[in-house]
Amino acid sequence: MKNLLVVCGGQSPEHSISIRSAKNILNALDRNKYHITLIGITQKGEWRMIQEDELGDTITNQGDVVSIVPGKAEFLMCENRSIGKFDVVFPILHGPNGEDGTVQGLFSLLQIRFVGPGVLSSSIAMDKDVTKRLLQESDIKVAPWRLLTKGDKVPGYYDIVDDLGEVVFVKPANMGSSVGVHRVENEKEWSVAIADAFKYDRRVLVEQSIIGRELECAVLGNNQPKATGVGEVRSGDFYSFDEKYAETSDAEIIIPAEIDRKYLPALKETAIQAYKTLCCEGMSRVDMFLTHAGEIYVNEVNTIPGFTSISMYPKLWEEEGLGYSELLDQLIDLSIERG
């Protein structure tokens, strides 16, 4: 039996989504294979020992405070006692301070295996500007964009229109789940979008709107990654935070996507190429656009995709015949394989 540490919550705006993902993962893990310890990170950054039946919608002050002691095999302490040794950590932490290489760096320093991509790929994929530059270097199409930095003069809406067209997307460079993302098509919306995006990051992307099908592909593996077929998201103007996670969403998730099958090999190949370009290991979800002309654009690569009841990553693998519990087994085995 493996000793598995599950970590959820975190300080990002995606705190509650992390907990929803964690609940689903905890329900699916085979208790005959794993002895599970659960730690929740509060929105203030405290690590707390949590009992599974106490896991609510947010991590508050319940449970004992956990201390981290680098340099020891039993690196987690609670009230001056060791919590124990772990074979693998499963960080279910979306967004900054969880998906951006920070926690991955901590676990690397502690010499403990963890599920998902490593420090380099996590930090690269979290930064949309750096991601685009690397993908472009690998001849993978991305939406044209401009990078704005806090403190510099923000161009006017019509200056942007000359470069990118009348409809653009404004988004923080380092954020997920569509937090701080706005679709802009006039000057009034531009000012509001810029102000909101800068609340989440010092660097903001302005992207050209790509007209096409919004598709997602799940990738799994280390040296020889495999890709699923694609699922499609049908939403309004864009797949917002509320549409992704609200109980009553107008967004429609279609698995498998209803596309011409001739595009599927290229979509899977592009997903794997993007995965390798960003040095991903373990897992990632690659989001793409397919235009009417058959062009494929990579939108984002998510290194810790959602595992909620409506999340695309586990559903895509389920469509391939890999059940939720078996998928988790493979992710844990891949982390051990990587070492």
pLDDT digits (tens, 9 = 90+) for 45-90: 999 999 999 899 999 888 889 998 887 777 888 877 888 889 999 9
Domain boundary among 208, 226, 260: 208
Q: How far is residue 151's CA from residue 202's CA, in Å, rounded to a whole number?
A: 8
Range of the domain at 181: 145-208
Domain boundary among 188, 208, 228: 208
Mean of the pLDDT values across residues 321-326?
Answer: 96
The SS3 call for residue 236 is: coil
At residue 50, the pLDDT reads 93
- For the domain that residue 282 is a member of, what is the CATH number? 3.30.470.20
Q: Given the DSSP bridges, would you call strands 282-290 and 296-302 parallel, antiparallel or unpaired?
A: antiparallel
Tell me, yes or no, whether 154 and 132 share the same domain: no
Per-residue pLDDT tens over the stretch 156-203: 999 999 999 999 999 999 886 578 899 999 999 999 999 999 999 999
Q: Tell me the backbone φ, ψ of residue 81, rounded to 5 degrees.
A: -125, 150
Residue 162 lies in a domain: yes
Tell me, yes or no, whether 94 and 82 share the same domain: yes
Q: How far is residue 147's CA from residue 181's CA, in Å, rounded to a whole number?
A: 14
How many whole angstroms from its chain centre is CA 320? Answer: 21
Rounded to 10 deg, the angle between the 128-137 and 264-277 helix axes is 110
Of residues 116, 147, 148, 121, the one with CA closest to residue 135: 121
- For the domain that residue 151 is a member of, what is the CATH number? 3.30.1490.20
At residue 79, the pLDDT reads 74
Domain boundary among 154, 174, 208: 208
Tell me, yes or no, whether 231 and 275 share the same domain: yes
Q: How far is residue 310's CA from residue 313's CA, in Å, rounded to a whole number?
A: 9
Angle at CA of residue 98, ends 96 and 103, nearest 5°: 125
Per-residue pLDDT tens over the stretch 298-309: 999 999 999 988
- For the domain that residue 94 is a member of, what is the CATH number? 3.40.50.20
Q: Tell me the backbone φ, ψ of residue 287, rounded to 5 degrees.
A: -100, 130
Q: Given the DSSP bridges, would you call strands 76-78 and 81-82 parallel, antiparallel or unpaired?
A: antiparallel
Tell me, yes or no, whether 225 and 315 share the same domain: yes
Q: How far is residue 48's CA from residue 38's CA, in Å, rounded to a whole number?
A: 9
Tell me, yes or no, whether 40 and 173 share the same domain: no
Tell me, yes or no, whether 186 and 303 share the same domain: no
Per-residue pLDDT tens over the stretch 231-253: 999 876 654 445 554 554 567 89
Residue 311 lies in a domain: yes
Per-residue pLDDT tens over the stretch 283-295: 999 999 999 999 9
Residue 119 lies in a domain: no
By percentage, how much of the chain surpasses pLDDT 90?
80
Average pLDDT, rounded, for the chain: 92
Tell me, yes or no, whether 255 and 302 share the same domain: yes
Give the dihedral sign, CA 51/62/119/301: positive
Tell me, yes or no, whether 177 and 285 share the same domain: no
Tell me, yes or no, whether 272 and 191 share the same domain: no
Tell me, yes or no, whether 25 and 103 share the same domain: yes
Tell me, yes or no, whether 286 and 259 share the same domain: yes
Mean of the pLDDT values across residues 12-37?
Answer: 95
Residue 44 lies in a domain: yes
Tell me, yes or no, whether 53 and 166 share the same domain: no
Of residues 86, 172, 179, the one with CA closest to residue 128: 172
User: The whole model's pTM is what?
Assistant: 0.92
Residue 95 lies in a domain: yes
What is the number of domains present in the chain? 3
